Each structure stands twice: as structure tokens, then as C-alpha cells.
Amino acid sequence: MIEAVVFDLDGVLVDSEHVWDAARKELAAERGRPWPDQASRDMMGMSSLEWSRYMHDVVGLPERPEEISAKVVRRLEEIYRRELPLIEGAAEAVERLAERWPLGLASSSNRELIDLVLELSSLARYFRATVSSEEVPRGKPAPDVYLEAARRLGVAPARCVAIEDSENGIRSAKAARTRVLAIPNPRYPPAEEALALANEVLTSIQELTPETIERVG
């Protein structure tokens, strides 16, 4: 029996993975650092501490990781305030599921960006618990952020359904022993072996209904 639903944020509710990617690439380019081929995929799902350290150690930015994180987040905040890239149908899906289950959010985004997105989208009132991977020891694909979301909701992870789009996100939710509904990000599609871990794969968030949740439960 399903007792809660936990959403990812980036790629599920907001079409932002490419925005993150562009902001990081711009910062690297301004410092004359080439962008490694695998950098974008490597950083998907990492916590802010992890990806900013990656940009310092691997990409070669001279600033301290916390300074890198702050600069990228400021760029995201400016973009979101100009025009929030909310995915079509996301608000309606959240509202539909909130009528039946308590909702959580387990995101790799920084806390200030989570709060800003939920404020600008007017969706904050639907979420009983929100967790940033900054607030747990390890980012995705480790299970920490989903385990903490379940703990804050007061629900066993096995009685939660996670809504995810990325390879690291799917692996994180599965490692937490939640059921997983995958909505693959078309710009950064998960590998087939990661998709195979999901209980069901949807083509868009518009397909996310109470009936879908019950089916995987």
C-alpha cells in the first residue's frame, strides 16, 4: 500500500537540467576552462557540494567549491525569476496526487532554489517535506535524500513512490527501496539499465495520475 509520493524537482517539475548545464559551462568558459565530454552527465544528481567540488577538481575552476556553487545558484535564481521553466502539466499532476497522498520532494538542487521554485510556482502548499541533497551526507545516486524525505514524511521508504527523470535519480530512489516511476528526460535520457530499475516508465508527467501510483503500488 502506497502512503506517500516523493517528487524529484529538476527534470520532473521544472525543465532545468539544460539551464544548470548552461550556467556551469558559462562559468567555466569565462575562466578559459574546457568542458569535459562527460561533465554534464557526471554532475546530474550530485549535491551542490559534490558538483562544485567536481568543477574545481575536474573542470579546473580556481574558486573554492562553495564560491562556485554560490555563483551558479545566483545565475539560476535570476533565470527563474525572469521565467520559471515549469514543465507543462507538472502543477496539475502535483495537485492531483496531493488530494490522495502526502507529498515530499527529494532534490539535488540547493535549498534556496527549491524554496524559490515552490514559491514562484505556488506549489509549496502541497509538499509536507522537502529535502535538498545539501542536507544529507551523499547526493544521488546514493539513497540518502530519499531516505530523509521518507523520514520527514513519517512513512517507510518501501511505502513511497518516487517520481524521477535521471539515471542517478532512479538509482537513488531504487537504493532507498522506494517504488520508482520514471519520466525520462529527453535531453539527458537515462541508460537502459537504469530505466530497467523503474517499476514503470511514463512518457510525460501528464500521464501521472492516482491510478498510475496505485498500479505500481
Last residue of a domain, one of 63, 82, 101: 82
Quick check: 128 pLDDT over 90? yes
| Residue 103 and residue 192 share a domain | yes
- For residue 200, list its beta bridge partners: 181
Last residue of a domain, one of 82, 99, 114: 82
| Residue 117 and residue 60 share a domain | no
Domain coverage including residue 173: 4-15+86-216
Q: Choosing from 8, 15, 144, 165, which is the catalytic residue?
A: 8
Record the pTM. 0.91
Q: Count up the domains in the chain and report the number.
A: 2
Return the beta strands (E) in the chain as ranges: 4-7, 103-107, 127-132, 160-164, 179-182, 200-201
- Say which CATH number the domain at 177 has: 3.40.50.1000
Identify the band that residue 186 occupies on the pLDDT scale cut at 50, 70 and 90: confident
Strands lying side by side in the sheet with 127-132 = 127-132, 103-107, 4-7, 160-164, 179-182, 200-201
Q: Is 165 a catalytic residue?
A: no
Q: Choosing from 10, 15, 21, 165, which is the catalytic residue?
A: 10
Q: Provide the terminal-to-terminal Cα distance of the chain, rounded to the nearest Å.
A: 6
| Residue 72 and residue 33 share a domain | yes
Closest CA to 198 of 173, 211, 180: 180
| Residue 11 and residue 21 share a domain | no
Identify the band that residue 179 occupies on the pLDDT scale cut at 50, 70 and 90: very high
pLDDT of 39-81, one tens digit each?
988 888 788 888 999 999 999 999 999 999 999 999 999 999 9
Q: How far apart are CA 97 and CA 106, in angstroms?
A: 16
Identify the band that residue 197 occupies on the pLDDT scale cut at 50, 70 and 90: very high
- For residue 33, list its beta bridge partners: none
Closest CA to 48 of 106, 178, 135, 176: 135
Last residue of a domain, one of 49, 66, 82: 82
| Residue 63 and residue 100 share a domain | no
Quick check: 194 pLDDT over 90? yes
| Residue 109 and residue 203 share a domain | yes
Q: How far apart are CA 208 and CA 80, in angstroms?
A: 24
